[in-house]
A and B are shown apart, each in its own frame.
Chain A
Amino acid sequence: MKQKYLPLTATILIFVLSYALCAAQYPNILSTRVIGNLLTDNAFLGIAAVGMTFVILSGGIDLSVGSVIAFTGVFLAVVLEHTSMHPLAAFALVLAITTLFGALMGVIIHYLEMPAFIVTLAGMFLARGMAFVLSIDSIPIKHPFYATLKGFYYKLPGGGRITLIGGLMLLVFAIGILIAHRTRFGTNVYALGGGSATAKLMGVPVASTTVKIYALSGLLAGLSGIVFSLYTSAGYSLAAVGVELDAITAVVIGGTLLTGGSGFVAGTLVGIFIQGLIQTYITFDGSLSSWWTKILIGVLLFAFILLQKGIIHLSRDARQRA
């Protein structure tokens, strides 16, 4: 087996094993209802994590995701409350704003040659601040179109439902996989993650790729914000705090190398499922406290970083021997 599939295989193995363990204790965890809820509850996180996967594959990081989700929610709530704009038009408008926002961060990162970490940190403050300026209250969204959207679902045998947002997440992952592996842009992202100097020498358009990566992350964070507003039917400027960390964690657990250049969008999906499964198990158990989620995810994160280090180490040894 190729070495690059090793982290992904480990992730899938851990997911299957832990799901089997959970199912042995609580057989109901296998029901389609639980699976449907797993998709619906993690939809916004999953969509944001796809964007984060591209950013991390390119060797960067995007800390602004959670704030952009909150901004999107508040923006939609305010626009729908105060104007007669149709939600679809509002969706398009907010996606344009967040994409531009991401692109702007990409421009600063590339042209000012500053670490992505601190630039997106500024973006995080800015987006959260704009959300606060729009409104500090939690505004309910009562537009009838929202109810219509929530009414769409595909009924699975056994009573489970794949809701619109759950399905949308799967669709975004499918498109993400296609972009990563079947387009020139995807290849450029991997090349950039392997080293920006080498990528430049190979003829990768570093500037436009960097801008596009952060624009994509902004777009998906905006989409995630729309999904979040559908999920909660409200816009609140303090919502989605720390989602960027959950997304980064999902990407790492999914087997993507944090130094960039190696990993799979599909792995991130499994990473999301593992996080969701831990939460579901804790809900099923009832006696465990929610803080165990954080500790377990921290332990998993650590284990995967170690695994990646080991793989890099082994592959370096193999190369030296050859």
Chain B
Amino acid sequence: MTSTLRTYLARLLPQLIALAAILIAISMTFPGFLNLEIQNGRLYGSLIDILNRGAPVVLLAIGMTVVIATKGIDLSVGAVMAICGAVAASFITSGHSLLETILITLAVGVLCGMWNGILVAVLDIQPIIATLVLMVAGRGIAQLVTEGTILTFNDPGLIFIGSGSFAGLPMPVVVWLVFGVLVALLVRQSALGMLIEAIGVNRRASTLSGVLTPVLLIAAYMLSGLCAAIAGIIAAADIRGADANNAGLWLELDAILAVVVGGTSLLGGRFSIAASVLGAIIIQAINTGILLSGFPPEFNLIIKAAIIVFILVLQSPRFRTAFAFFAVPGRAAKTTEQEAK
């Protein structure tokens, strides 16, 4: 057990170090940054704010990790967020109960994911293109649902999901924590995670060795759709309205970035949901740090670009070969031994 824990920590180490470095750098400039205080039975502070603001990207990153592990990509999650936000708002304003609204919204998200999955698994279309269809059409569909307006609502139950708190934590944080743990347990306590990785490494070989590739692929995209639906509900509940044009705009790119920062390769295969969640929080911490430091928020994009290039260089097969050449031979052998265990 301790050895599995140790390998787990070793996997997350780069992300944890990066996050710690960012948080320390910010708190050196802003001494009060790490302070937490409790008011009305709820935690307040910049750290909590990072977890809270990062909720949509964290959720999208969970689904995106699984999709990317199958060597796919889901560009439609931002548009699906908009569709689901619109559906939630229109159902709650037309007098449906909170439970019905949430169930129907989640079902719509899963359905969107299923559409993507069928295009990828059954029609065998490249994932970028298959999900591009919904990305282009999705915002149009969302506007069709809201009839071109920003649908607002005052249902206290739905608003609670966006700005309420549970056990001292803001509701969005609770939602992604619970959901993330559930998904991670599902894929890691069963063989599902390994089968998904097998598809990502070699789809043909896994089909030939008896893996139900189409079913798993469709399920991966459905999970991504479900994540987008939850993120859509949170985003809509946060502003108490559904904005078909701006909800989730470009969040698919942030989610992909989070997965990449988390160290999951875009070429499919081994993945870690915890690392992607950390990746999303790192991105949010940088956002918050830039805002706090008084730098114009415009620098955000340049820093993101720099991070991507840095990670690309680290992940690049050529760089790894060069690095392995300079590494101490004994140590390299030991790490492969550990990985084998």
Contacts and interface: CB of A to CB of B under 8 A. Distances in A.
A289 B143 contact: yes
A112 B320 CA distance: 10
9 contacts: A112-B318, A122-B308, A123-B305, A125-B253, A126-B301, A129-B300, A245-B132, A294-B140, A295-B144
Nearest to A128: B301
A125 B299 CA distance: 10
A112 B316 contact: yes
Interface of A: 61, 108, 111-115, 117-119, 121-126, 128-130, 132-133, 136, 237, 245, 248-249, 252, 258-259, 289, 291-295, 297-299, 301-302, 305-306, 309
B315 interface: yes
Interface string B269-310: 000000000000000000000000000101111111100110
Q: Which of B134, B300, B309, B319 has the most CB of A within 10 A?
A: B309
Contacts of A133: 296, 298-299, 302
Contacts of B126: 258-259
Nearest to A113: B317
Contacts of A136: 296, 298
A258 B266 contact: no
B266 A294 contact: no
Nearest to A299: B137
Interface residues of B, number: 47
Given A112-B316, A129-B299, A291-B139, 13 more contacts: A114-B266, A119-B312, A122-B304, A122-B305, A124-B253, A133-B299, A258-B129, A289-B148, A293-B140, A294-B136, A295-B144, A298-B138, A305-B123
A129 B128 contact: no
B312 A121 contact: no
B319 A112 contact: yes
A288 B279 CA distance: 42
Nearest to A126: B305
Contacts, number: 122
Q: Which of A111, A122, A293 has the most CB of B within 10 A?
A: A122
Contacts of A305: 119, 123, 125, 129-130, 133
Nearest to B257: A121
Judged by DSSP, the binding face of A is helix
Interface of B: 73, 119, 123-126, 128-130, 132-141, 143-144, 148, 244, 253, 256-257, 260, 266-267, 296, 298-305, 308-309, 312-313, 315-319
A239 B298 CA distance: 15
The 8 closest A-B CB pairs, nearest first, are A298-B137, A132-B298, A294-B140, A129-B301, A129-B302, A126-B305, A291-B143, A122-B308
Contacts of A126: 301-302, 305
Given A112-B313, A294-B137, A306 B296 contact: no
Nearest to A67: B301
Nearest to B245: A291
B266 A117 contact: yes
B91 to A, nearest CB: 20
B312 A114 contact: yes
Contact of B140 (A115, A237, A252, A298): A298
Contacts of A108: 309, 312
B133 A301 contact: yes
Contacts of A293: 140
A115 B308 CA distance: 12
